[in-house]
Amino acid sequence: MATAFKLVVEYDGTAYSGWQIQNDVPTIQGEIEKVLQSITGQSIRVSGSGRTDAGVHALGQVAGFTCEITLSAQKLHKGLNSLLPPDIVIRSLETISPAFHPRYDAISKIYRYHILNSTWPDAIGRQYAWHLRCPLDMDAMRVAIGHCLGRHDFKSFEGAGSPRSSTVRRILSASITRQASGRIVFEIEGDGFLRFMVRNIVGTLVEVGHARITPDDFLRILHARDRNQAGPTAPSHGLFLVQVLYPAE
Amino acid sequence: MATAFKLVVEYDGTAYSGWQIQNDVPTIQGEIEKVLQSITGQSIRVSGSGRTDAGVHALGQVAGFTCEITLSAQKLHKGLNSLLPPDIVIRSLETISPAFHPRYDAISKIYRYHILNSTWPDAIGRQYAWHLRCPLDMDAMRVAIGHCLGRHDFKSFEGAGSPRSSTVRRILSASITRQASGRIVFEIEGDGFLRFMVRNIVGTLVEVGHARITPDDFLRILHARDRNQAGPTAPSHGLFLVQVLYPAE
């Protein structure tokens, strides 16, 4: 009899062409499927809560798969972590109803974006933050990010070449905090995200932070529904998929 | 006229065979000398406060060099950081008395060792901590590390193959703290360190933390002046040279 499993996965995206399996390039999904095949002898499809792009990290990506297996969840968990490369770690693995779908059942996702705003970059941890030398205006960025709250058409912040039928999403919370280390952490929770949406929002917020545009301009860009008006896409290595939330959690 | 400079250097040691220049392998000193040569056209010897071993990191290694140069310290600093690889960052560069010697003038050094003590390793930041699954007894390790305080012959914790004429060193402070993330940070300040000394102390403290030996055994090992009695050498990737202190700082 087939058993369904839910996984929470942490990964360092530096070495990967993103979550989704592709031919001839390393991907997180591809690595997990390869290890599952070597443990079970079966070709198993792992489905994620959504893709993450090349170079993006995750602390809590959620995925699911179904297979015929006699191993306990605990043993399967241990086996997976001992065979996966060290930049992919299964944080939890549990059996779940076969009806569970990591993408369709998700009610929201939390992303964080890390900027190191300091004269010099860091050597330690440089893989995990975008370094910007010029000081960012926290107050102006906070006003601008506030405009994202609620239900909006985020077409201005959608990556080119991957249009969705609907570009309307609801942002449930959005904050920017500055740590003593000089790190600025953007945290955004939404019921869904378009491709490159967080990185395009952060790239445009940085334009606000550098006073190249105003928070009012940010609002105008949001309303314009036109990618050409928004700022550049922030680099992938500052972005983390932190958590995927499901009902009754 | 020659000018003397003092550098504070941060580096991620992952990709390097340690601080000290060697033929045919990448080293921190080698990278800095290469970049200095390309900026000044001169062959410049950079001297450090001491070696760090292969894979060991630094937040504040101190080095010095002397050269004929017309560039300001500020411009030289900028030039160095723009040409060095991203895993080596010069945190500060200033002119200093030609009498300054980074090794002989140092009065103490602070090292930190990071252990991640949790069921599963981390993917993010795995390069910067030793992962140990079995819980460590903090109280027992704290008693044991206390025995290191003061002036002792640390021959039991000296790496093989690199004997010093004197193996007596003074430990000024030693602490162990546990962070909410499950990270345990060992911090040791001393007036000098033998090769592998911090890693051998930490490796032996872990034996105490796992109750394979007692804090009294640790004291007995310290007094034995015999490397064969101490525990294994902790891996290099958990170790950071944090700061080198000089008089009047």
Which pTM was predicted? 0.94
Residue A146 CB burial class (10 angstroms; 0-12, 13-18, ≥19): middle
**A205: number of Cβ within 10 Å:** 28
Q: Considering the domain boundaries, does residue B218 fall inside one?
A: yes
Q: Measured between CB atoms, which of A88, A89, A123 is closest to B87?
A: A123
Q: Measured between CB atoms, which of A81, A88, A123 is closest to B88?
A: A123
CATH, residue A196: 3.30.70.660
Q: Which amino acid is at A77?
A: H
Beta strand A239-245 with A57-68 is parallel
Q: Which amino acid is at A117?
A: N
Known catalytic residues of A are: 53
Contact across the interface for B86 and A12, Cβ inside 8 Å? no
Helix B73-83 / helix B28-40 crossing angle, nearest 10 deg: 120
Please identify, among A47, A65, A96, the residue that sits at the C-terminal boundary of a domain.
A96
CA-to-CA distance for B95 and B98, rounded, in angstroms?
9
Pick the residue from chain A with its C-alpha nearest to B82: A120
Residue A97 CB burial class (10 angstroms; 0-12, 13-18, ≥19): exposed
Q: Considering the domain boundaries, does residue A103 fall inside one?
A: no
| Owning domain of residue B140 | 108-245
Residues of B in contact with A240 (CB under 8 A): 124
Query: Are A211 and A150 members of one domain?
Result: yes
What is the interface size between A and B, counted as CB pairs within 8 Å?
A: 55
Residues of A in contact with B11 (CB under 8 A): 123
Contact across the interface for B123 and A90, Cβ inside 8 Å? no
For chain A, the residues whose C-beta falls within 8 A of a C-beta of chain B are 10-12, 57, 59, 81, 86-91, 120-126, 128, 240
CA-to-CA distance for A11 and B8, rounded, in angstroms?
32
Give yes or no for a contact between B176 and B91, defined as CB atoms under 8 angstroms apart: no
Query: Are A237 and A129 members of one domain?
Result: yes
Residue A157 DSSP class: G
Contact across the interface for A126 and B86, Cβ inside 8 Å? yes
Looking at this predicted complex, what is its ipTM? 0.92
Please identify, among A47, A73, A96, the residue that sits at the C-terminal boundary of a domain.
A96
Q: Considering the domain boundaries, does residue B100 fall inside one?
A: no
> How does pLDDT run along chain A (249 residues), one tens digit per residue?
789 999 999 999 999 999 999 999 999 999 999 999 999 999 999 999 999 999 999 999 999 999 998 899 999 999 999 999 999 999 999 999 999 999 999 999 999 999 999 999 999 999 999 999 999 999 999 999 999 999 999 999 998 776 678 999 999 999 999 998 889 999 999 999 999 999 999 999 999 999 999 999 999 999 999 989 998 999 999 999 999 999 975
Pick the residue from chain B with its C-alpha nearest to A122: B89
Query: Are B228 and B154 members of one domain?
Result: yes
Angle at B154 between CA B151 and CA B155, to 5 degrees: 145
Pick the residue from chain B with its C-alpha nearest to A89: B123
